[in-house]
Amino acid sequence: MFRHDRGDQHRHCPAQQIGRRSLSLFRPDGAVTAGGSVDAGRRHWPTRQVVDRVGDKWTLLVIHALEEGPARFSALQTRIQGLNQKVLTTVLRGLERDGPVTRTVFPTIPPKVEYELTDLGQSLLGVVGGIRSWAYERMDDILKARESYDAAAR
């Protein structure tokens, strides 16, 4: 039996038994709610928390941009076209809070600030690279699927 922080009870059940392929994405042990449904919306589950942090396009692009090494805010803005100052600030603060990015302020006038991937952030590079590779390999398939869908929707 597994108890969540709030005392919710869950039973362990292999994904095949209840016909839910997505279980393994959210709980490595296959836990489901007592009613047999996947409760992927639980904000305190580790997978949900990680997907909430790195699942948006800007976060992935910031992590990719920092792969080259430490960068100043303006350099990140230049590397990531279409990313405005407010969004970049929000993404960097979130990444710094969760640990993948560190912010270093140098005592100069004006102050110099650099952002860099931590060891935790470096460990995400394989995941980000995998998504990037998959996108490049599958883009033709995606475009064909879009065309087919759009044609059928007309």
The tens place of each residue's pLDDT in the chain, 154 residues long, gives 333 343 343 333 333 333 444 434 444 555 544 455 555 566 667 777 777 777 888 999 999 999 999 999 999 999 999 999 999 999 999 999 999 999 999 999 999 999 999 999 999 999 889 988 999 999 999 999 999 999 998 8
Secondary structure letter of residue 102 according to DSSP: E
Contacts by residues 119-125 (CB-CB < 8 Å, ≥ 24 positions apart):
121/63, 121/66, 121/95, 124/54, 124/63, 124/100, 125/63, 125/67
- Give residue 40's identity as a one-letter amino acid code: A
Structural domains present in the chain: 2-45 (no CATH), 55-154 (1.10.10.10)
In 3D space, the residue among 88, 90, 115, 89 whose CA is nearest the CA of residue 102 turns out to be 115
pTM reported for the whole predicted model: 0.67
The reported pLDDT for the residue numbered 43 is 64
